[in-house]
Homo-oligomer: A and B are copies of this chain.
Amino acid sequence: MQFRPVKEQLEILMRGVTDIVPQDELEKKLQKSYETGKPLRIKMGVDPTAPDVHFGHTVVMRKLRQFQDLGHTVVLIVGDYTAQIGDPSGRNKARPRLTHEQVLENAKEYQEQFFKVVRRDQVEIHYNGEWFSKLPFSKVTELMGQFTVAQMLEREDFHNRYTANTPISLHEFMYPMMQGYDSVAIQSDVELGGTDQKFNVLRGRDLQIFEGMEPQIGLFMPILLGTDGKVKMSKSIGNYVGLNEPADVMYHKIYSLSDNIVENWYELLTNIPLDEVKQMMADIAAGKMNPNDAKHRLAIDIVTQYYGAEAAEAAAAKEREIHSGNAIPSDALECSVDAGSYGALDLLVNIKAFASKGEARRMVQNGGVKIGGEKLADPQAQIEIKGGDQLVVQVGKRKFFKVNF
């Protein structure tokens, strides 16, 4: 096949990249691929330990998509075997072990989300059980012999656990070997990963060299900060945007993004030319542009990627309606309560809007609670409800409850 010139490819591929190891080999590989008409094999491994995909994961997926769009082949490795160990990278304790069934179930859900970013053509999908289930024990010992204990314990995560006397199970030391052997098995040219994957990706190079292959290149993407602009995006911290979230919720979360990372999100999550992005940032700094307009454009661009332009505009419109009190967002929590007469505070605790009546009272007194669109002024108010009714309860700016009776 005919590829675009290497220089053009590099311009696209280098966007947002943190590090390439080794630097000079990517160009050589692209040149060879250009000359021979043979696509590069771009590896990405995933351990579907949890099936929820958020924007943090799409940074690498989008890079895969760029390779695809340039004619290269994406090789997704679903680590059904590695997931049973759990990548110890960056962890301070051993992961819980998953059963093979859990992993396969997660993998299915994962792929549905993966293909929201990556095209379904030019993809190979492999489960690493394909080779590990058949790997003879003697090969395992041979591969393990390519690693040293010191090499493992020099890793910051293992080092910290070892010095803190937090147990490291020996099977965790097998993880880098397994990830590395994946590269041997699929003969990857490039492996993509977050910067926390550097150790594992370089071990893949080692094993490919050991097996007499041309070694892969590691291409590392930054870790995306969450909506708070402070720490790595993470579901457990709550600063995430999930790929499965409704368009209006997605729009809202991006529109509420912390100012300091708007530029970074543009770079990592859109294809808008970086010159334009720089200009916007300069305009904002000069007071010539409202930061919200930059966030609106970012949100429209990203929501469009997942739901199309029309849905993105609708999401923006709904955000404005919610602000005016004329709509409730899709992520309102639904709950059910028996029909009857309730003290307002009892009701709020009952639907788990607050942990205690004291907490609820303070928020009501601060004017932060609306029931049925009306501000609740009196904490002692009695609320009567008939079966079949629905009541919308709003706490603060954007926490909504749809209470069914």
Contacts and interface: CB of A to CB of B under 8 A. Distances in A.
A13 interface: no
B133 A171 contact: no
* A: contact size bracket: 20 to 34
A137 B174 CA distance: 11
A133 B141 contact: no
A97 B145 contact: yes
Interface stretch (A2-10, A17-25, A162-170, A205-213): A162-170
B173 A173 contact: yes
B147 A170 contact: yes
A138 B81 contact: yes
In this complex, the member of A132, A137, A177 whose beta carbon has the largest number of chain B beta carbons within 10 angstroms is: A137
Interface in A136-194: 136-138, 140-142, 144-150, 152-153, 158, 162, 165, 167-171, 173-174, 177
Nearest to A177: B170
A311 B199 CA distance: 65
B148 A165 contact: no
A1 interface: no
Contact of A150 (B133, B168, B173): B168
A344 interface: no
A49 interface: no
A159 to B, nearest CB: 11
B171 A145 contact: yes
A166 to B, nearest CB: 9
Contact of A132 (B137, B147, B162, B173): B137
A203 to B, nearest CB: 11
Contact of A152 (B97, B132, B135, B170): B170
B145 A173 contact: no
Contact of A173 (B135, B158, B170): B170
Interface in A107-142: 132-133, 135-138, 140-142
B138 A137 contact: no
A268 interface: no
A239 to B, nearest CB: 33
A147 B169 contact: yes
A97 B146 CA distance: 13
B137 A133 contact: yes
A85 interface: yes
A140 B84 CA distance: 12
Given A150-B162, A165-B150, A85 B170 contact: no
A97 B158 CA distance: 28
A144 B165 contact: no
B149 A153 contact: yes
Given A133-B137, A135-B137, A137-B133, A144 B169 contact: yes
Nearest to A165: B150
A173 B174 CA distance: 11
Contacts of A158: 149
Interface of A: 81, 84-85, 97, 100, 132-133, 135-138, 140-142, 144-150, 152-153, 158, 162, 165, 167-171, 173-174, 177
Nearest 4 interchain pairs by C-beta: A145-B171, A144-B171, A149-B168, A144-B170
24 contacts: A81-B137, A84-B138, A84-B141, A132-B137, A133-B136, A135-B137, A137-B140, A140-B174, A141-B171, A141-B174, A144-B170, A145-B170, A147-B170, A148-B169, A148-B170, A149-B149, A149-B152, A149-B158, A149-B169, A149-B173, A150-B162, A152-B170, A153-B162, A170-B177
Given A81-B137, A140-B174, A147-B169, 7 more contacts: A81-B138, A84-B138, A144-B173, A145-B170, A147-B170, A148-B167, A148-B169
